[in-house]
Structures are given as C-alpha cells and as structure tokens.
Amino acid sequence: MIRQHPGRVLSVTALIAVVFVALSYPGRNDTAGAAGAWYYISAVGWFGFLITFVVFIVLAVIAAVHRSSGRRRAVSS
C-alpha cells in the first residue's frame, strides 16, 4: 500500500499520532499514586503516540527510498 499511495498512508499515520496525543492530554496532571482511569488512558495515548511517530518516520524513509529508486529506474531506461 505504501508503494501505491504513500501520501495517503503517511496522512493516516499522522492522523493516528494526533489522536494518540489528544488521548494522552486529559490525564497529564494525574500521578501514579492516585491511579485513576485517566492516568492509564493517558499512558496508553502517550506510548501509542511514540510508537506511531516511529512508524511514521520509518514509512517516510521507505516512501522516499521507493520514490528515489523509481526515478533511478526511469532515468536509466
């Protein structure tokens, strides 16, 4: 899918990252001692954002490599 629609894949990944950041916001002032539900929801949101951000970077590198290799093939033909 990344080869056919790299912009779409990267956009969806960025949107998911934004949703995770928004999910991590409500429990920002909670502490582990007063472990309410928002503390855990915010933790899941934050770590989800970090994972999604790394996936976004990896996909962006893959898309750039595919794009440059496609140009190289077109020039050499």
Q: How confident is the model at residue 54 (pLDDT cuts 50, 70, 90)?
A: very high
Residue at 77 is within a domain = no
What confidence score (pLDDT) does residue 4 get? 84
CA–CA distance, 52 with 18 (Å, rounded to integer): 9
Domain limits at 45? 6-72
- Give the residue among 2, 20, 1 at the shortest CA–CA distance from 61: 2
Q: How confident is the model at residue 36 (pLDDT cuts 50, 70, 90)?
A: confident
Number of CB atoms found within 10 A of residue 57's CB? 11
What confidence score (pLDDT) does residue 9 get? 92
DSSP annotation of 30 reads -
pLDDT digit string, tens, across residues 10-34: 999 999 999 999 998 887 766 666 6
Residues 54-64 have a mean pLDDT of: 94
Residue at 26 is within a domain = yes
Residue at 1 is within a domain = no
Query: What pTM value is reported for the model?
Result: 0.77
